[in-house]
Structure 1
């Protein structure tokens, strides 16, 4: 791994951590899921997985570390990997945003599996009780995604300087 790539990943992770902390007071309204998708689309799946995993670890130390971080890392790995496969044939921003909305809802489903198991709760009531939070997460991700895509659209200009 080159120093340039390592620096890029460190800066993207730092940006993700700052955004997660800045939006910490708003439940599930954070731009980081959209940012992870943009990183995956712009730099590749491995970079998206690396930044999402490292962000969960670093913010876990700052916000409180628990086994649920493993669930967050795996849930992001699931939705980013599925998104990577789906986006190969989809170029339209609106369709991508709709797919990201659905994948973010899937994130809520997958993380609920880990959370229910961690707290010893029954899965279905646990998942259903969190649907409003999942919906807020999916809507905010769908709103942040086009904004972040626009910012990252000319990434080559920023990387070469």
Structure 2
């Protein structure tokens, strides 16, 4: 029992470190990050709670380096929501192409949630939420496209690795 717990903690730590490196590796390109695809794939590979732990650690650690603000809590909330939705949808269809497209769609949902959180924190302005969300759509599209591309690559890598717990 103790070895399983140690293994699980080590796995979460290593995958959190990997997620941080992946987020930093493409910091020059707004919203082109493999971590959304990684979090979604990990939800299916390890389960919801481990994926949630990895995502939370990643967002806090990278937030400390890239700039910490209340939006980090919004990101954690947004990722938790899309992980739940993705995991629920994946129960009906395990086709990699289908899941890749759904993963890309999750990036748009994440963008909508972040727009809502940002609007609440910083004010919606005269245009309201819709204008705020539309202004962010190019970033959401880049996020969705990169998630669509990265998801099958990450799944192929994870299929070669077998967790012990």
Matched, 1:137 2:148: no
User: 1:14 corresponds to which residue?
Assistant: 17
1:28-57 CA deviation, whole Å, 9 max, x = no partner? 000000000111111001111111111111
Tell me the SS of whatever aligns to 2:30.
coil
CA apart distance, 1:117: 1.4
Matched, 1:79 2:85: no
Q: 2 CA distance for matches of 1:79 and 1:129?
A: 21
Q: Which of the residues 55, 59, 64 maps onto 1:56?
A: 59
After superposition, where does 1:1-161 map in structure 2 within 5 Å? 2-121=5-124, 122-156=128-162, 159=163
Asked if 2 retains the 8 angstrom alpha-carbon contact of 1:117 and 1:123, the reply is: no
TM-score normalised by length of structure 1: 0.95
Gaps of 5+ in 1: none
Q: 2 CA distance for matches of 1:70 and 1:123?
A: 19
1:107-142 CA deviation, whole Å, 9 max, x = no partner? 000111001111112311110000000000000000
Which ranges of 4 or more aligned residues in structure 1 deviate by more than 6 Å? none
Q: 2 CA distance for matches of 1:155 and 1:89?
A: 24
Asked if 2 retains the 8 angstrom alpha-carbon contact of 1:9 and 1:47, the reply is: yes
